Amino acid sequence: MSLEKKVWFITGCSTGFGRQIAVQAIEAGYKVVVTARRVEQIQDIVSGHEENTLALPLDVTNDDQIKDAVQQTMDKFGRIDVLVNNAGIGYFSSVEESLEEETRRMFEINFWGLMHMTNAVLPHMRAQKSGHIINFSSIGGLTSFPTLGYYHATKYAVEGISESLAQELTPFNIAVTLIEPSGFRTDWGGRSSVKTDTQIPELKDSFVGQMLQGVQQNSGQESGDPVKAAAAVIKVVETPSPPLRLLLGKAAYQAATHKFTGMLSDIEEWKEITLNADFE
């Protein structure tokens, strides 16, 4: 299939990565399904490209909307070649003070929404024996920082299930790629996140309190460029052998290499005890 005939389905297109990916995929000549909870926020993306695009309302926590959006896509284009699971939110709090209502909501969007969307598309990809699933994770899916414990939990979950899914889908010529950005100017730390301030004195006076205070102040100052990130996603889809993981941003590279260098050091230091834990 020629590149320009591939059909992309992208979630969370009102701002940030989703919007930039949609714009660039349309410019590249692909057929693109652009979705957001409020469809009026994405009309400007598809304006003038109505023949090759579809703008749909989609809340990834709403199963009926997911089924309807996939069906409308199949009715118009007849296939789905690339699913970009981009929709997601953040939540800042100490682990001890995190609100269960907020953390469960985040899991519903970041993990269950992603999986319900994936499971709705997979039968079509298996039938056509091709496809590519792009799951937006984070550098926070590989390594952890204070005040983001439950957010990390959602992204670690996405990482784990994506690894299994990639292995299960290999026989069907369906690829899975995890996108792992560091800080990008996507309003993730602003409009797209919730914060619960710490009330525990010992935490409030420590770097935990300082980090929570700086969350919204730093929003919009991140070093990552969403336009370049979107171009990287397009390139990954167009490559014949896409990677399972793609780190984006210098901070992501530095954090990942620091994490795994330290992990390997610990593994080797305790190697003898590790190997002696089996039956003789």
- Residue 207 is predicted with a pLDDT of 78
Domains of the chain: 3-252 (3.40.50.720)
What is the secondary structure of 12-73 as a DSSP string?
--SSHHHHHHHHHHHHTT-EEEEEESSGGGSHHHHTT-GGGEEEEE--TT-HHHHHHHHHHH
pLDDT tens for each residue of 39-97: 999 999 999 999 999 999 999 999 999 999 999 999 999 999 999 999 999 999 999 99
pLDDT tens for each residue of 96-130: 999 999 999 999 999 999 999 999 999 999 999 99
Give 102's contacts (C-beta < 8 A, 6+ positions apart): 91, 93, 150, 194, 196
- The DSSP element (H or E) to which 120 belongs, if any, is helix 114-128
The predicted model scores a pTM of 0.93
CA 262 to chain centre: 25
Residue owning tokens 């004195």: 201
- Residue 2 is predicted with a pLDDT of 55
- Residue 3 is predicted with a pLDDT of 56
pLDDT tens for each residue of 224-278: 789 999 999 999 999 999 999 999 999 999 999 999 999 999 999 999 999 999 9
How far apart, in whole angstroms, are the C-alpha atoms of residue 46 and residue 43?
6
Structural Rg of the chain based on CA atoms: 20
CB 177 within 8 A of CB 246: yes
- Residue 191 is predicted with a pLDDT of 64
How far apart, in whole angstroms, are the C-alpha atoms of residue 49 and residue 31?
9
- Residue 124 is predicted with a pLDDT of 98
Q: Does the structure show a pLDDT above 60 at 189?
A: no
Percentages of the chain per state (helix, strand, coil), in multiples of 5? 55, 15, 30
Choose between 203 and 154: higher pLDDT: 154
- Residue 224 is predicted with a pLDDT of 79
Mean of all residue pLDDT scores within the chain? 93
Work out the percent of the chain whose per-residue pLDDT is above 90. 81
- Residue 216 is predicted with a pLDDT of 61
**What are the distances in angstroms from CA 268 to CA 144, 271, 272, 280?**
22, 5, 8, 21
The letter for the amino acid at 231 is A
- Residue 29 is predicted with a pLDDT of 95
Q: Does the structure show a pLDDT above 70 at 215?
A: no
At 111 the three-state DSSP class reads helix
Confidence band, pLDDT 50/70/90 cuts, at residue 198: confident
Residues acting as catalytic residues: 137, 151, 155
How far apart, in whole angstroms, are the C-alpha atoms of residue 229 and residue 181?
8
- Residue 194 is predicted with a pLDDT of 87
